[in-house]
Amino acid sequence: MTDGPYKPDEVELTSSLGYYLTKARNVLVERTDRAVKPLGLTAQQIGVILMLSSRRASTPFELSRAMSYDSGSMTRLLDRLEKKGFVVRTRSSDDRRMVKLELTPQGHDAARQLPNLGATVLNDQLRGFTAEEHATLIHLLARFIANGPEGEAGVGCGLASPPDEPCP
């Protein structure tokens, strides 16, 4: 038997927290995709741009870990960003196995525009929320994330984590 608000024989798809979290993510991704389309980016790709811009990651491994992507998915994502001219990969002169990532001038330009676009998307999505409701939503989601599995790479990591602290 589980301990908590959900009982296995009473779980309804459209009334479960998982359903609402998935729908909320999908709505936010759709809005973000529309907002960043003029830059030639997608919601999935802006995380890489922001992580590199803020110096929270500089290698594919660091990005994969911080963004909870497997290495194959990250490689494909970086391939697309490199082809579009947003990032470049360079091999370390000290260790040829190490690949460093850098934003191109186009990538830096996009990074400068993303905070304004992101604020617009979030403000549109939070329309009608009070400041207190917004703070409560953030607090509850942070608690929810903190209950994630222990020791899983990338769980709870991301832009909100201080750059000088290791990912849990």
Residue 2 inside a domain? The answer is no
- The count of structural domains within the chain is 1
Residue 121 inside a domain? The answer is yes
Q: 43: domain range?
A: 15-146
Burial code (b: 16+ CB inside 10 Å, e: under 16) for 65-95 equals: bbbebeeeebeebbebbeebebbeeeeeeee
| Tokens describing residue 17 | 């927290």
Residue 159 inside a domain? The answer is no
Residue 9 inside a domain? The answer is no
Q: What is the pTM of this model?
A: 0.80
Residue 80 inside a domain? The answer is yes
Strand runs labelled E in the chain:
87-91, 99-103
CA end-to-end span of the chain = 29
Whose structure tokens read 């360079």?
90
Q: What's the CATH number where 139 sits?
A: 1.10.10.10
Band of the pLDDT at 9, cuts 50, 70, 90? confident
Band of the pLDDT at 7, cuts 50, 70, 90? confident
Q: CA-to-CA distance for 134 and 120, rounded, in angstroms? A: 15
Backbone angles phi, psi at 99, to 5 degrees: -110, 125
Q: CA-to-CA distance for 105 and 87, rounded, in angstroms? A: 9
Q: CA-to-CA distance for 167 and 115, rounded, in angstroms? A: 23
69: left (phi over 0), alpha (psi -120 to 50) or beta: beta
Residue 30 inside a domain? The answer is yes
Nearest to 83 by CA among 64, 67, 106: 106
Looking at the predicted structure, is the pLDDT value of residue 153 above 70? no
Q: In this predicted structure, what is the pLDDT of residue 154? A: 47
Q: In this predicted structure, what is the pLDDT of residue 155? A: 52
Residue 28 inside a domain? The answer is yes
Share of the chain above pLDDT 70, in %: 88
Nearest to 68 by CA among 79, 55, 84, 57: 57
Residue 39 inside a domain? The answer is yes
